[in-house]
């Protein structure tokens, strides 16, 4: 079983990811264009947000997202998005609630730095502090979704509107890491399929709630 997990994680997973990412990128091209235009009209350029994250084997990489905050948001506030964060743009609020801000990570999958399913990549200041079992997180490619993404899909509501970074570090980070470790220990095709459909269900539920409001 351990040999299968290693073979799937190292060889099969990346090939499946690349093929599916290419297909999704072609299918979603009109969506990319529409979102890009909406961002430009709402708050100008740049369309994409790029930031350093801790990657596979501890190698840092640039994660891609559609920009959902004002320009230079990293310099204005912390790394954790607070509830009703004033840095979020009008279009950005919709993108975040529907998770459409994440779809540029198909580029990360194509260049091999990410996977569809895997531990959500963290800021370098957190991954550099990993110790003990937490280092297992870096033995699988980071992904768009995993157990921690599903559990904390409403992260902004959990950290609240003030001291978001402090709340995240005190009440969320360790729990997220435990869920990331859970994925690293159970990585398999069956696990990935389960997490994929759970993510689709949770995302649709969240988007519908946002639209009803």
Q: What is the pLDDT of residues 155-213, one digit of tens each?
A: 998 999 888 999 999 999 999 999 999 999 999 999 999 999 999 999 988 878 767 76
Average of per-residue pLDDT values in the chain: 93
C-beta pairs of 13-19 under 8 Å, 24+ apart in sequence: 13/115, 13/141, 13/187, 13/192, 14/112, 14/115, 14/141, 17/109, 17/115, 17/116, 18/109, 18/110, 18/112
pLDDT digits (tens, 9 = 90+) for 62-90: 999 999 999 989 888 888 998 889 999 99
% residues pLDDT > 70 (the chain)? 98
pTM given for the model: 0.92
Q: Which residue has the tokens 């506030």?
A: 77
Structure-token pair, residue 28: 């979603």
Structure-token pair, residue 2: 């351990």
Q: What is the pLDDT of residue 213?
A: 62
Q: Which residue has the tokens 């297992």?
A: 136
Q: What is the pLDDT of residue 1?
A: 55
CA 144 to CA 114: how far, in whole Å? 8
Q: What is the pLDDT of residue 12?
A: 92
For the segment 45-52, the average pLDDT, to the nearest whole number, is 96
- With a cut of 80, say whether residue 4 has pLDDT above it: no
For the segment 27-39, the average pLDDT, to the nearest whole number, is 98
């Amino acid at each position: 079983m351990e040999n299968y997990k290693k073979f799937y994680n190292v060889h099969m997973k990346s090939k499946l990811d690349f093929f599916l990412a290419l297909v999704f990128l072609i299918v979603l091209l009109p969506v990319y264009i529409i979102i890009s235009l909406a961002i430009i009209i709402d708050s100008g350029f740049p369309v994409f947000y790029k930031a350093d994250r801790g990657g596979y084997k501890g190698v840092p990489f640039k994660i891609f997202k559609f920009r959902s905050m004002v320009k230079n948001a990293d310099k204005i506030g912390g790394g954790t998005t607070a509830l009703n964060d004033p840095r979020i743009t009008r279009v950005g609020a919709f993108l975040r609630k529907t998770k459409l801000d994440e779809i540029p990570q198909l580029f990360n999958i194509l260049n091999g730095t990410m996977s569809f399913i895997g531990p959500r990549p963290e800021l370098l200041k957190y991954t550099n502090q990993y110790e003990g079992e937490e280092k297992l997180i870096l033995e699988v490619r980071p992904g768009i979704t995993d157990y921690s993404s599903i559990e904390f899909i409403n992260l902004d509501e959990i950290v609240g509107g003030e001291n978001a970074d402090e709340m995240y570090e005190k009440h969320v980070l360790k729990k997220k890491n435990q869920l990331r470790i859970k994925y690293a220990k159970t990585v398999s095709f069956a696990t990935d399929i389960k997490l994929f459909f759970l993510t689709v269900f949770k995302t649709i539920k969240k988007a519908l709630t946002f639209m009803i409001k």
